[in-house]
């Protein structure tokens, strides 16, 4: 799938086609450390691939990446420095049934399908082997603590970060019982700030979290309730982000993998709309946020 390029004009004189051509001629000389933060959002995370394509076209390279839940999957992909085409080829045939394997609909599925996808997609097995510093957020049910992983087995850490309670079974890892990191920190911009990033660009693939539902299905009501609870723990991450990219994902389900290409296109569109501001940030022309203790 080739992302359809919108007619966007830069500086009132340059078309998107010419812009991409110019950006590929040279790299940015960054003055600051810039981190990429990826939110949770389930299947809507496919919009991140469109954003990665936009960054690739613009010659943008981040210094670190942090992600929660779906953001941890695609964050690891970004940190591996696989090209958009490589990732698309590896994920183009992915379907909901590859991950939802419970024999009865009201029972949680295990994470075997996602684990297999991670192991077959990523070129390395350990977090510390990735090309870019990567941080995945999960929650340990035994203690209730937020756990930030910067080393360890990728497949175990990512599946733990994605294990939505009631939808997937928790993941046992090094004495911990891991569940979805979005319970405590759905937009981990603070993780990047704490690790020296001067600027943070966040992609929130679930900007409409907190909305209600008319569905009578248990799983829909349950995940909607979780989304409502996540509104508050997303607020700090948004406040700690310099730029927030919000693809319009309202018509896409977070539980079913359908219309992947449309999600990717929307991620590309939203990111390209923000690209002039992102470039200012990379060039040191963006005003830094001041934080008070």
The active-site residue out of 39, 47, 69, 161 is: 69
| Close Cβ partners of 37 (under 8 Å, ≥ 6 residues apart) | 65, 66, 67, 71, 187, 188, 189, 191, 192, 200, 201, 202, 203, 237, 241
Active site residue 156: no
* Cα separation values, 242 from 105, 196, 210, 212, 251, Å: 41, 14, 23, 29, 27
Rounded (10°) CA dihedral 280, 281, 283, 289: 120
The encoded tokens of residue 94 equal: 């992915």
Active site residue 63: no
The active-site residue out of 57, 63, 140, 180 is: 180
174 Rama sector, left if φ>0, alpha if ψ -120 to 50, beta otherwise: left
DSSP 8-class letter at 126: B
Q: Find the radius of gyration of the CA atoms of the chain.
A: 18
Asked if residues 118 and 73 have their Cβ atoms less than 8 Å apart, the reply is: yes
Asked if residues 78 and 122 have their Cβ atoms less than 8 Å apart, the reply is: no
Reference 153, options 176, 126, 179; nearest CA is 126
Asked if residues 249 and 207 have their Cβ atoms less than 8 Å apart, the reply is: yes
Active-site positions? 69, 180
């Amino acid at each position: 799938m080739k992302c359809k390029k919108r007619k966007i004009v830069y500086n009132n004189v340059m078309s998107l086609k010419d812009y991409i051509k110019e950006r590929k001629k040279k790299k940015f000389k960054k003055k600051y450390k810039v981190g990429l933060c990826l939110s949770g959002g389930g299947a809507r995370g496919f919009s991140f691939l469109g954003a990665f394509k936009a960054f690739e076209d613009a010659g943008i390279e981040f210094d670190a990446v942090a992600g929660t839940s779906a953001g941890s999957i695609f964050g690891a992909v970004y940190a591996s420095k696989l090209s958009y085409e490589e990732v698309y080829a590896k994920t183009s045939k992915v379907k909901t049934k590859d991950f939802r394997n419970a024999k009865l609909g009201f029972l949680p599925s295990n994470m075997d399908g996602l684990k297999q996808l991670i192991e077959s997609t990523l070129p390395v097995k350990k977090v510390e082997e990735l090309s870019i510093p990567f941080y995945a957020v999960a929650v340990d049910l035994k203690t209730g603590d937020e756990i930030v992983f910067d080393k360890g087995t990728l497949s175990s850490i990512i599946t733990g970060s994605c294990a939505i309670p009631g939808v997937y079974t928790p993941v046992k890892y090094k004495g911990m019982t891991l569940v979805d990191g979005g319970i405590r920190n759905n937009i981990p911009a603070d993780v990047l700030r704490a690790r020296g990033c001067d600027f943070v660009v966040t992609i929130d693939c679930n900007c409409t979290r907190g909305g209600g539902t008319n569905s009578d299905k248990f799983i829909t009501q349950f995940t909607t309730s979780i989304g409502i609870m996540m509104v508050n723990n997303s607020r700090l991450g948004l406040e700690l982000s310099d730029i927030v990219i919000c693809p319009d994902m309202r018509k896409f389900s977070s539980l079913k993998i359908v219309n992947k290409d449309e999600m990717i296109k929307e991620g590309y569109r939203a990111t390209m709309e923000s690209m002039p501001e992102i470039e200012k940030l990379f060039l040191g022309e963006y005003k830094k946020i001041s934080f008070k203790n």
